[in-house]
Structure 1
Amino acid sequence: MDWTLFWVIATFATYIGIAIWARAGSTNDFYVAGHGVHPVVNGMATAADWMSAASFLSMAGLIAGMGYGGSVYLMGWTGGYVLLALLLAPFLREFGKFTVPDFVGDRYYSSTARIVAVICALFVSFTYIAGQMSGVGIAFSRFLGVDFNTGIFFGMAIVFVYAVLGGMKGVTYTQVAQYVVLIFAYTVPVIFISLMLTGNPVPQLGFISNIKGDDISMLQKLDETVQGLGFTSYLASTKTNFDIFCITAALMFGTAGLPHVIIRFFTVPRAADARLSAGWALVFIALLYTAAPAVGAFARLNIIGSVNETTYAPAETYEVQSKLIRDAGEPPSPAWFANWEKTGLVAFDDKNADGQMQIRGPAAPDGLENEVTISNDIYVLANPEIAQLPEWVIGLVVAGGLAAALSTAAGLLMVISSAISHDLCRRTFFRNMSDKTELRVARLAAAGAVIAAGFMGIYSAELAFVAQVVAFAFGLAAASLFPVILLGIFWKRMNREGAIASMLTGLIPTFAYIWHFKLGAGKAATAQDWFLGVSPEGIGFVVMLLSMAVGVGVALVTPPPPQDIQDLVEDIRIPGTRRSHGIADSGMAPLD
């Protein structure tokens, strides 16, 4: 039985069935699920929305490949969610709007501010969604025997059905199902492998336990192994401390500015429910994030053990692939490597023509050059196959990866759709648009976004690995949206001129920096060429400080907001006591 095909068909059928059952009948259903989602349900949906392909596929791969250096993604994303849950979510829910641009437009009493916020949200969302579609292509291309681009198109078709049909209502309950799939798919294999390597069924403890039948810890053995092959210590980082700090901060503050996560807190009935659902989401997220370091470490040890015959791999804990594929004239390789080689995500270059695969670091003591290239994005998907786990487990992991990618993609599509149909059309350019027409426009916008996202996913595969593409989106969100949201809630003197200046100051330099060093003339640049030594993944934090300073400066030299806006800012910080203040509650588009 083809277990991969079984799990993919079963889960996709479930998602489509839920979308049909939860079909949106109004714009309120389409944008915010009627404000009627239970906090626990919303917490689970938020966790699925939050844990994208970057979390499921790429984060553990980064930790596996970079060791301590990869932990910046774990720390930044986790800390960012806590910041969002405690500092922003309840107040945004108390404001009672559909979207982040809706908040910006009404809080800053400006159609221009709303349009700039829409542009920022679209930049962030399309960058983020490109990484998700790339993850879909990776999973499909390996396990369903189709090429990368075909895999993306297939994923587009599935998202099209349940996002366009069900809107936020359908997406919410689909994400609940996707969370269940992805958390089982992530934890079941690592429990198996933890038992095989350490005898401990709890991966978080197995990660720091001794190798089964030995007196050395698994982590220490891994560190000795990678250093012995010429790599940097697994417990060290090649990045500077300042760059690590900037990347972590960009991911953290970017999280608090992500429109597709913020919109989830508008789906619950009250601000108190937003706090409660944020707490539940953190519990659900922690189940995966606390296991990620173990997944990365186990995968690194397993992959080295399966490729290098001299690497530690005792038979009682882990059976190394013994049967090598020997086609005429081709060098031998483990079976899993031969399967993944077809995708182009792993490669072998027999530099010394000895027919033996060698994984080596730049400081290899035996003087051999590295001959094996492995993408960070395959560690999670390939690890069960390398460890020779049952076929049903391997198939489950594929379904989990697809669930993680598609759940986040759906949330991002809702942001794109609502930004176009609600914020641009109904609230700015066509203020007399009916509810029925707006719903039709929203569905058309979602459909167009699906198509655009697919092509961006194809292009992003040439740009970087999944987590890195997603990190760019976080940097853009940190620099452009976080300052105006934070100041809009906690500083009543912040005005429309300051908000517009802040968003533009954050968006343009950050995007230009990323473009220059990833796609432009600076592609071949080294860390010495970066501004202050800050990588493109971390530049969003530096620009965020600049954009916040510009926003405050401009606000202080221009007229203050109207008194009713200042009163509104005070009211939304006291949940349950907000008075009516015209602009915020009337549904009318604000005027510049």
Structure 2
Amino acid sequence: MTTQSAFGRRLRRYYGWYTGSFLAFVGLLAIGEQFGLSPGVIGHVFLFATIAIYAGIGVMSRTSDVSEYYVAGRRVPAVFNGMATAADWMSAASYIGLAGTLYFSGFEGLAFVTGWTGGFVLVALLLAPYLRKFGQYTIPDFLGARYEGNVARIVGLVATVLASFVYLVAQIYGVGLITSRFVSVEFEIGLFVGLAGILVCSFLGGMRAVTWTQVAQYVILIVAYLAPVVILSYKVTGVPVPPAAYGSVLDRLSAKETELFVEPREIEVRERFGQRAADYEAKIAALPDSLEEERRSLIERLNRLRIDNAAAREIAHAERALRDLPKTPEQARATWEQARVEAAARSRPPPRHAEAHPGDTPEQKRVARNNFLALVFVLMIGTAALPHVLVRYYTTPGVVEARRSVFWSLFFIFLLYVTAPAYAVFAKWEVYNNLIGSSLSLLPNWVASWGKVGMVAIEDINGDGILQLAELRLNTDVILLATPEIAGLPYVVSGLVAAGGLAAALSTADGLLLTISNALSHDFYYKVVNPRASTQRRLVIAKSQLLVVAVIAAWVASMRPDNILFMVGLAFSIAAAAFFPALVLGIFWKRANRPGAVAGMLAGLVITLYYAARTHPFFGGSMTQAWFDINSISAGVFGVPLGFAMIVLVSLLTRPPSPEIQDLVDYMRYPRLPVEDSEAQPDSVAVRRRSQS
């Protein structure tokens, strides 16, 4: 205990100096900006300085010890494990996308906040202390021991790799996106610069290096997230505490919405977009004749412009329109349908920010409510079952510390999530109050700067030279990234926000990459293929798998998948359906056995993937085939109850587990039984031999 306390004091001293040094570094850059330091230099300094910090921690934390590599030696204090878990958890989607989601969805976006934070309550109550008492290294480890063999282990391994890889691709894509915008390089170059940072953090030291790197990354991301919104809160309300101040702004925003939505020019613009949607619908119905008519009309217009010696700009515009015209009726149908959906969306007023479950009819409100609840359910259960989150609780010194670290995880995540709604409200108030209704020639500089990179688009559809709400299109990510400029802050704050986004993406990618490589090297190679492998060989296999998975994920991310939100949601659904029933029943129901667990995991996984493929356009599906109008992002809502039902039913119809396994359940659940922290801890109940049979 004395040694552990001294270790904790030393860590607090190190990270105290680190935090102070980082704040001083930001202050020096701010002073440099006042003396003429260019934004480009500030961006490069932020990028390479932060990656150098992470790389330095990774190199200093290198290890060849198995326990250190897989679970950081099981000596991470609760507070620091909470910080590492928060950084591991807060992905680029949470950091960058949550404020934008709340901006556009209002009340409905709270499903993400409620689901993600509620999941950690389930972790504390149902999983973390029991998995820590079980010991070992991975979630498939638990499944293999509890359900007596490698069949359950391999099913768990497949689900671990599948859920983590889908999530990893989204994170690496975010790393490339942030890095490329950070220093104005090509996306692919930015992606591999970020990938190098990920590998340096995790390759040499495994969980030990990733843990201490994630603590450092959390410090950067939380400072970067809070700084601009605190300043904006003080600017708008005079109170520098965003969660306490944004309620008054929300009242003013609701009144502004009422005013805007009935403004005559707003109504006119929406009617024009509605007519555009109707035109696209008619063109789609008339295919293939409408495509030929469109091509003929563009050719005639181009020839007329050339005969009349029109301006080169008009001719170039007509040539580009002809070149971009779909080549086949199938391409035209897809392109025009996407344009029709966008125009139809812009023809309707956006949902009021504070309105719960919006809709024009009781049926629409019912569908919105059901999807809200389904999304909360999936995100909550998925959070409680994500392997890269659960494995963090193997790293604490004991069961009590595991429970405490869940509390600290919730606290550190709470700091970001309680602030995200304020980000959305303040940004929307600035846009609605100071931007909408302005002359297009007098818009603030941030609109033009973000328009150059495609994050902001304006279409003056009625030609009046005034910006109406429906004529403005914002990318979800711009709400967070542009807040410093909206608030009129120095560029160094924008660089700080980007550094925080990079830290969020890198920290989650590190955890996911390590989870996949450990599953393949430990659970497949060591536990199934070669149980007699030496420590050195196990670590070589782990590091080689880490490199292979990183390269494959980067290759997939380089294709720029445009369904990042769906990929993240699918990862949660897969984890929820495949793991949660088997983990919870494995801990709390002695009668759960191997056939039941395997049947439950497979049934939950299959029905989740089937529903996602059935309803999402990425797989060729359609929402017309949805069950109960549930969106594809919540596919796990069908897999979780099916998983529970299958485990209970099949377990009751087959033989109960052995007495040794039932002893293991008692060992995990009751504190009076001693905790053993050795690698072979389950041998105390004679499980290890059976789990490999």
Question: Does the alignment reach a TM-score above 0.5?
Answer: yes
1:473 and 2:512 are equivalent in the alignment: no
1:430 and 2:530 are equivalent in the alignment: yes
CA deviation vs aligned residue, 1:63-91 (integer Å, no higher than 9, x gap) = 01110111100000010111112221000
1:187 and 2:229 are equivalent in the alignment: no
2:186 aligns to what? 147
Letter in 2 for 1:387: A
The 1:222/1:352 distance shift into structure 2, 3 A limit, reads closer
d(CA) in 1 for partners of 2:253, 2:656: 57
1:220 and 2:254 are equivalent in the alignment: yes
The 1:357/1:510 distance shift into structure 2, 3 A limit, reads same
How far is the alpha carbon of 1:434 from its aligned partner?
0.8
> Which runs of 5 or more structure 2 residues have no equivalent in the other structure?
1-36, 267-348, 359-366, 676-680
1:400 aligns to what? 500
Give 1:348's match in structure 2, choosing from 458, 481, 487.
Answer: 458
Stretch moving more, 448-457 or 116-125: 448-457
Secondary structure, counterpart of 1:208 in structure 2: helix
How far is the alpha carbon of 1:495 from its aligned partner?
0.6
Give 1:235's match in structure 2, choosing from 351, 354, 367.
Answer: 354
1:327 aligns to what? none
Letter in 1 for 2:501: G
The 1:565/1:87 distance shift into structure 2, 3 A limit, reads same
Give 1:548's match in structure 2, choosing from 644, 665, 672.
Answer: 644
How far is the alpha carbon of 1:234 from its aligned partner?
1.0
Give 1:558's match in structure 2, choosing from 654, 659, 677.
Answer: 654
The 1:158/1:397 distance shift into structure 2, 3 A limit, reads same
CA contact (8 A) 1:253 1:541 kept: no
Equivalent residues in 2 for 1:263-282 (5 A)?
A: 263-282=391-410
2:309 aligns to what? none
How far is the alpha carbon of 1:548 from its aligned partner?
1.1
Aligned residues: 555
CA contact (8 A) 1:64 1:296 kept: yes
1:337 and 2:447 are equivalent in the alignment: yes
CA contact (8 A) 1:346 1:375 kept: yes
Identity of aligned residues (%): 41
CA deviation vs aligned residue, 1:243-286 (integer Å, no higher than 9, x gap) = 11111000001111000000000001111110111111111111
How far is the alpha carbon of 1:588 from its aligned partner?
5.2
The 1:280/1:3 distance shift into structure 2, 3 A limit, reads same
CA contact (8 A) 1:427 1:588 kept: no
Letter in 2 for 1:571: Y
The 1:356/1:141 distance shift into structure 2, 3 A limit, reads farther
Give 2:133's match in structure 1, choosing from 77, 94, 102.
Answer: 94
Stretch moving more, 575-584 or 499-508: 575-584
d(CA) in 1 for partners of 2:95, 2:593: 40
CA contact (8 A) 1:163 1:414 kept: yes
The 1:34/1:3 distance shift into structure 2, 3 A limit, reads same
Secondary structure, counterpart of 2:239 in structure 1: coil
1:494 and 2:622 are equivalent in the alignment: no
The 1:137/1:561 distance shift into structure 2, 3 A limit, reads same
How far is the alpha carbon of 1:494 from its aligned partner?
0.5
CA contact (8 A) 1:509 1:543 kept: yes
d(CA) in 2 for partners of 1:150, 1:226: 43
TM value normalised by structure 1: 0.89
Secondary structure, counterpart of 1:231 in structure 2: coil
CA contact (8 A) 2:596 2:649 kept: yes
d(CA) in 1 for partners of 2:142, 2:610: 26
1:567 aligns to what? 663
d(CA) in 2 for partners of 1:562, 1:339: 66
Secondary structure, counterpart of 2:633 in structure 1: coil
CA contact (8 A) 2:228 2:493 kept: yes
How far is the alpha carbon of 1:50 from its aligned partner?
1.2
CA contact (8 A) 2:660 2:687 kept: no
CA contact (8 A) 1:385 1:394 kept: yes
CA contact (8 A) 1:52 1:405 kept: yes
How far is the alpha carbon of 1:517 from its aligned partner?
2.9
Secondary structure, counterpart of 1:537 in structure 2: helix
d(CA) in 2 for partners of 1:83, 1:352: 52
Give 1:249's match in structure 2, choosing from 354, 377, 384.
Answer: 377
The 1:473/1:96 distance shift into structure 2, 3 A limit, reads same
> Which runs of 5 or more structure 1 residues have no equivalent in the other structure?
211-215, 311-321, 325-331, 361-370
Letter in 1 for 2:54: Y
1:13 aligns to what? 52
Stretch moving more, 1-10 or 198-207: 1-10
How far is the alpha carbon of 1:530 from its aligned partner?
1.6
Give 1:535's match in structure 2, choosing from 625, 631, 652.
Answer: 631
How far is the alpha carbon of 1:581 from its aligned partner?
5.4
Letter in 1 for 2:391: I
TM value normalised by structure 2: 0.76
d(CA) in 1 for partners of 2:215, 2:237: 33
How far is the alpha carbon of 1:576 from its aligned partner?
5.8
Secondary structure, counterpart of 1:533 in structure 2: coil
The 1:84/1:187 distance shift into structure 2, 3 A limit, reads same
How far is the alpha carbon of 1:309 from its aligned partner?
3.2
Letter in 1 for 2:615: F
2:119 aligns to what? 80
2:539 aligns to what? 439
Give 1:261's match in structure 2, choosing from 382, 386, 389.
Answer: 389
Equivalent residues in 2 for 1:6-85 (5 A)?
A: 6-85=45-124
2:691 aligns to what? 590
CA contact (8 A) 1:323 1:335 kept: no
d(CA) in 2 for partners of 1:156, 1:134: 10
Which is greater in Rg?
A: 2
Secondary structure, counterpart of 1:554 in structure 2: helix
Letter in 2 for 1:147: E
Secondary structure, counterpart of 2:184 in structure 1: coil
CA contact (8 A) 1:306 1:386 kept: no
d(CA) in 1 for partners of 2:463, 2:260: 23
Equivalent residues in 2 for 1:279-290 (5 A)?
A: 279-290=407-418
1:410 aligns to what? 510
Secondary structure, counterpart of 2:63 in structure 1: coil
CA contact (8 A) 1:189 1:384 kept: yes
Secondary structure, counterpart of 1:23 in structure 2: coil
Query: CA RMSD of the aligned region, Å?
Result: 2.3
CA contact (8 A) 2:168 2:512 kept: yes
d(CA) in 2 for partners of 1:53, 1:104: 30
d(CA) in 2 for partners of 1:504, 1:393: 48
d(CA) in 2 for partners of 1:576, 1:11: 46
Letter in 2 for 1:566: Q
The 1:260/1:144 distance shift into structure 2, 3 A limit, reads same
1:137 and 2:167 are equivalent in the alignment: no
1:504 and 2:602 are equivalent in the alignment: yes
The 1:23/1:464 distance shift into structure 2, 3 A limit, reads closer
d(CA) in 1 for partners of 2:539, 2:135: 19
d(CA) in 2 for partners of 1:85, 1:512: 31
Letter in 2 for 1:337: V
CA contact (8 A) 1:489 1:569 kept: yes
Letter in 1 for 2:627: F
2:26 aligns to what? none
d(CA) in 2 for partners of 1:165, 1:151: 22
Stretch moving more, 557-566 or 147-156: 147-156
CA contact (8 A) 1:501 1:551 kept: yes
Secondary structure, counterpart of 1:288 in structure 2: helix
d(CA) in 1 for partners of 2:690, 2:164: 24
d(CA) in 2 for partners of 1:303, 1:590: 60
CA contact (8 A) 1:142 1:339 kept: no
How far is the alpha carbon of 1:459 from its aligned partner?
4.3
1:299 and 2:395 are equivalent in the alignment: no
The 1:334/1:515 distance shift into structure 2, 3 A limit, reads farther
